[in-house]
Amino acid sequence: MDLDQLKSNWEQVGSGKKSQDQLLMMTKLKNHPQIKRMRLRFAIEGIFLLLFTAGYYDGFDGVDKPLWVNILLVVTAISYILTRLSGWLLLKNSVKMENLKVSLIGFQSKLKRMVISVVTTPLLFGFTVISFFSVSVDFTKSKYVIVAGMMLLLVAVAYASAKDLNQKIGMINKTLADFN
């Protein structure tokens, strides 16, 4: 690279200036694409779960099922929605302290506490849905295998979710270590 080309590159570096308003929009957390995806996913899941709990009793013969499975289905659906809502609120309001390092430490501790509920509530809801639909089924050997396969799939998804969340916590640990 010759000197003229280097000068030309140096002069072009400053041409991408942003206004103060543009910089503020870029740094607002609500504009983050991952937060937007989570909000959309939460809205879709919430709508479907509310529709399911509103219509399962008539649509899937909840009246013929035992009372305990009906109650458990509604309770786990509500806890699933509340857990997702609290997770979204945690991410939306993650930076509140006076500096980034203190905010990350607080966010990390909240995230560690939240991992258990974020992993267990979908697992419990999935087990409850399987129980709801299989409580009045006459089981054969092949039906037991199908139900066991569905439960194993639920456990595998919960494991993958826990692993993903632990990796995100590990990234926060790495960022905190970089501060020192």
The reported pLDDT for the residue numbered 30 is 59
The reported pLDDT for the residue numbered 154 is 94
Residue 165: pLDDT above 70?
yes
Residue 27: pLDDT above 60?
no
Query: CA–CA separation, 138 vs 124, rounded Å?
Result: 23
The pair of three-digit structure tokens given for residue 30, joined into one six-digit string: 């609500």
Provide the pLDDT confidence category of residue 171 given band limits of 50, 70 and 90: confident
Q: How is residue 53 annotated by DSSP?
A: H
- pLDDT, tens digit, 9 for 90 and up, residues 73-123: 999 999 999 998 888 787 777 666 677 777 778 878 888 888 888 899 999
- pLDDT, tens digit, 9 for 90 and up, residues 31-55: 667 777 877 888 898 899 889 888 8
Between 23 and 171, the higher pLDDT residue = 171
The reported pLDDT for the residue numbered 141 is 93
The reported pLDDT for the residue numbered 10 is 73
The reported pLDDT for the residue numbered 91 is 75
- pLDDT, tens digit, 9 for 90 and up, residues 5-21: 777 777 776 556 666 66
List C-alpha distances in Å: 101 to 174, 176, 177: 12, 7, 10
Query: CA–CA separation, 75 vs 78, rounded Å?
Result: 5
Do residues 166 and 115 make contact, with C-beta atoms less than 8 angstroms apart? yes
Do residues 77 and 53 make contact, with C-beta atoms less than 8 angstroms apart? yes
Do residues 119 and 158 make contact, with C-beta atoms less than 8 angstroms apart? yes
The reported pLDDT for the residue numbered 23 is 57
- pLDDT, tens digit, 9 for 90 and up, residues 138-159: 889 999 999 999 999 999 999 9
Amino acid at 12: Q
Q: How is residue 93 annotated by DSSP?
A: T
- pLDDT, tens digit, 9 for 90 and up, residues 66-85: 999 999 999 999 999 999 88
- pTM: predicted TM-score of the whole model, two decimal places: 0.73
Average pLDDT, the chain: 83
Residue 161: pLDDT above 70?
yes
